[in-house]
Amino acid sequence: MTDYTTILSNVSSALTGAVGALVGVWVTSTGNDRRAQIQSKEELAKERRALTRERGEELYQHADKWQSNLRANSFVWLGVMEGRYTANDALDMEIRDNSNLKYDFGRIEMLVDVYFPNSRKTFNAAIHQRDARSELLGKFKRSYKAGAEGGGFGPRLAESMNQLEQACRDFKAVVVEEIRDL
């Protein structure tokens, strides 16, 4: 009987040690898995922040070039309104300036919608100001073509340009703020 108790004692000790080792391995493995998941999530979040920052910088650059192009086109037509050159000269300048566009408006919209949806409101305000300026230029061009003089378009265009510039600055400021918040 003593042999059986010794064997039983040895077997129970071995089983207890084996179960203890298995539990230890399981606890260690579970902890490692959790740590790896947390680390993976942190790395993914870091990569997303870096990608969003890059896209924000790209959006800012495109928006700045868009604003510069709108400003240049406005000044071209302001020159016509002030009698410095003809509409044909302005059209030639506009064609020359627009043939080498350094921004992609579709890309601006995509970046706003995908990466910076909080900037949509200020972007829409800039678009609204751009459209108001374009409408004013259209009225001027029709008036010019009809041979009308004056019309007070110059001061109205200057005011429209100021509003457009402010709307573009507001939009870019929101983008910068979103980038900083990353």
pTM over the 0.85 mark: no
Per-residue pLDDT tens for 38-76?
887 888 888 989 999 999 999 999 999 999 999 999 999
In a domain, 44, yes or no: no
Comparing C-alpha atoms, which of 44, 54, 176, 182 is closest to residue 119?
A: 176
Per-residue pLDDT tens for 77-124?
999 998 898 889 998 998 888 888 788 899 999 999 999 999 999 999
In a domain, 160, yes or no: yes
> What pLDDT, on the 0 to 100 scale, is given for residue 103?
84
- If one counts the domains in the chain, the total is 1
The C-alpha atoms of residue 85 and residue 77 are separated, in whole angstroms, by: 9
In a domain, 7, yes or no: no
Residues 6+ apart with CB under 8 A from 71: 161, 164, 165
In a domain, 88, yes or no: yes
Average model confidence (pLDDT) for the chain? Answer: 88
In a domain, 101, yes or no: yes
Instruction: Give the amino acid at 35.
Output: R
Comparing C-alpha atoms, which of 102, 91, 92 is closest to residue 67?
A: 102
In a domain, 60, yes or no: yes
* Cα torsion 101, 55, 128, 151: sign: negative
In a domain, 14, yes or no: no
Domain region containing 133: 49-181
In a domain, 95, yes or no: yes
